[in-house]
Amino acid sequence: MNERDALLTTAVRAIETVDGDRESWTDEDRSWSTRAAAEAVGEGATPTVFVACRARFAVDRLRPRDPGFVRIVDGLLWRSWIGALLMILSFAAGLLIDRIGSGQSINLLAPPVLGLLTWNLAVYLLILVSSLRRGNKASSEPGPLRRLVVGGLLGSGRRLRQRGVAMPAAVLPKLLSDWSQIAAALYAARVARLLHFSAALLATGIISGLYLRGLAFEYRAGWESTFLDAEAVHRLLSVLLAPGLWFTGSVLPDVDGLAAIRFGVLPATENAAPWLHLLAATLFIVVIVPRLVLGTASALLERRRSARLLGDFTNPYYQRLLHGYHAGPVHLSVIPYSYHPAAATMTGLRRLLGRVFGDNAQLDWATPVSYGEEEALAAASQTDSRGPRVALFSLVATPERETQGAFIRAVRTLAGAGPVLVLVDEAPWHARFDPDPRRLEQRRAAWRAELTDLAELGLIPVFLDLAQPDLSAAQDDIERRLEGSA
C-alpha cells in the first residue's frame, strides 16, 4: 500500500475505532463504503487493494461533511517540494560560504572546507557505530529521529485543529499516534536521503563558489594558527587532504614549504590554484561521493518502504472488513438458554453484533433451550456450522456448572472451529432488582466462579445490558474475547 492510501486507511480506522457513538461516521456510512469498494475492485482483489479503495471512498464521502478533519489528513501527506527546497538552499549556502579566508586570501586551516571534512567523517563514524549496535541488538525504544517525527506530527495537528473539526476530540490524537508509528521507518529513510543529498550539494556549492570566484580574483594561499607550528600543520593536512592527494597525484609541500607560506612570513603565501584543486578533490572524495551513495541507498529504501506501509491485516478491525468482502455476510447463531429475550434485547444484540462482525451480519435466533435440555441443541445444527455461536443467558438465572457450564460446552462442540461468545444479559436483573452496584457485582462474580473452568478455553462471559447497551464498551469487550486476550 502506498503512502497516500496508507494514510487514508489510518484516518478511516481512527474514525471507526474511536467514534463509538457513530455520530460523525454512521453505520450507514460504513456499510456504503464497504459496498462501494467491493463493487469497484470486483471479486478476487487483494486485501490491500480492497482496504485502500474503501478508505478512498470513505474520505471522499467525509470531505464535504468535515473539511477540517480531511484538511488535517491531507496536511500529513509528504510534500516533495520540501525536499527540493532544502537541496536548493543547501547548494546556495555552499555558494555563499565559500569564503575560507579574508579578502582574497585562503587560510588552509579555516572553515568551511576542513570543518566540513571533519563533520562528515564524524557522521560516517556515527552511522557505522549505529549500524553495528542495531546489528547486535535491536532496540524497541524510539530514537531521536522517531521522537522528532512524532513531535512534528503532533505539532502540526495542534495547529490545524483550530480550523474546525467535527470529529470527536479523541479521533485526531489516535490518527496522529497511529500514523507516527506506521510512517516512522519511512520518515527515517526520507530524512536520511535529504540529509545526504543536502550535504553533497553543500559541498558542491562550496567547490563551485571557490572556482567561480577564482575566475575573477587571484586567491593567495597561506595559513596561521595560535597553537600549531609548521610541523603540526603538515601532519594535519597530510591526514585531512590524503584523499585529494591520492586522487590528483599531488604532493603536499614539506614542512619548510608550509612554513614559508605562513601569514606574516616573507615571502608570504602563494597562488592558491593548486590548493583549490586539492581541496575540491578532497571534498569530492570524502563528501560528495559517499553522500551520493548513501543518499541513493536511502532513496531506494524510502521508495520500498513507501510502497509497503500497510500489509498486516490480522487486526480484528481489518478482519471484519475483509471477511465481509471475501466471505460475504457473517451468519451468527444466537442460542438462548432458559431465557426468552424481549424485543429490546434482540434489537440491542443485533446492533452490537453488527458492530463486531460487520454491518451486514445476519443473526439466526435458535429456539431457546430449556433448563437441563442440552440435547435440544441439535435443532441449532440447521444453521451454518462455520459461523460464530452466541450462548445467551439471563443474569437472573442461578449459574451452575452442571447446567449453564454443560450448555456452553455443548455449544462449543457444536461450533467446531468457529468462535463462541458467552453473553450474560443484565436487562432482566435491572428490571427486577434495585440498581445496587455491589449486589450486581456479586452476581457477576458468582457467574465467573461457576464458569471458571471454561476460562482456559477462552469462554469467558461478557456482562452487558442488551436493552440499553453501551455499544462501544461492549464491542471492545467482545473483541478482546475473540482475540483471546482476556
pLDDT tens digit sequence for 77-95: 888 898 899 999 999 998 8
Q: Mean pLDDT over residues 178-192, rounded?
A: 88
| The pTM of the whole model exceeds 0.75 | no
Is the peptide bond prior to 112 cis by the omega test (within 30 degrees of 0)? Answer: yes
Distances (CA, A) of 184 to 179, 187, 267, 332: 8, 5, 58, 40
pLDDT at 148: 63
* Contact of 24 with 167, CB cutoff 8 Å: yes
Which of 308, 327, 346 is the last residue in one of the domains?
327
Helices 316-326 + 343-357 axis angle, to 10: 100
Range of the domain at 428: 329-483
- Residues 304 and 340 grouped into a single domain: no
Give the pLDDT confidence score for residue 116 in this predicted structure.
86
The number of folded domains in the chain is: 2
Which pLDDT score, from 0 to 100, does residue 157 have? 47
Q: What is the largest CA-CA distance in the chain?
A: 115
From 274, 292, 327, the end of a domain falls on: 327
Residues 351 and 321 in one domain: no
> Do the Cβ atoms of 108 and 237 come closer than 8 Å?
yes
Identify the three-state secondary structure at position 278: helix
393 phi-psi bin (left φ>0, alpha ψ -120 to 50, beta other): beta
Whether residue 338 sits in one domain with residue 259: no
Last residue of a domain, one of 327, 344, 373: 327
Res. 297: pLDDT tops 90: yes
Spatial contact of 352 and 465, defined as CB atoms under 8 Å apart:
no
In a shared domain, residues 272 and 378: no
In 366-417, where do the E strands start and end? 389-394
Query: Over 70: is that where the pLDDT of 367 sits?
Result: yes
Same-domain status, 193 and 267? yes
Same domain, yes or no: 201 and 254: yes
Q: Are residues 271 and 400 in the same domain?
A: no
Instruction: Give 69-79 pLDDT, tens digit per residue.
Output: 898 899 888 88
Co-location of 133 and 19 in the same domain: yes
**Are residues 287 and 385 both part of a single domain?**
no
Q: Are residues 268 and 381 in the same domain?
A: no
* Whether residue 414 sits in one domain with residue 301: no
CATH number of residue 458's parent domain:
3.40.50
Higher per-residue pLDDT: 97 or 148? 97
Q: Are residues 262 and 390 in the same domain?
A: no
Residue 400 CB coordination number (10 Å): 14
Helix (H) or strand (E) holding 333: strand 331-336
pLDDT by residue (tens digit) across 116-142? Answer: 888 899 989 988 888 787 654 444 444
- Single out the residue of 406, 402, 340 nearest to residue 367, CA to CA: 340
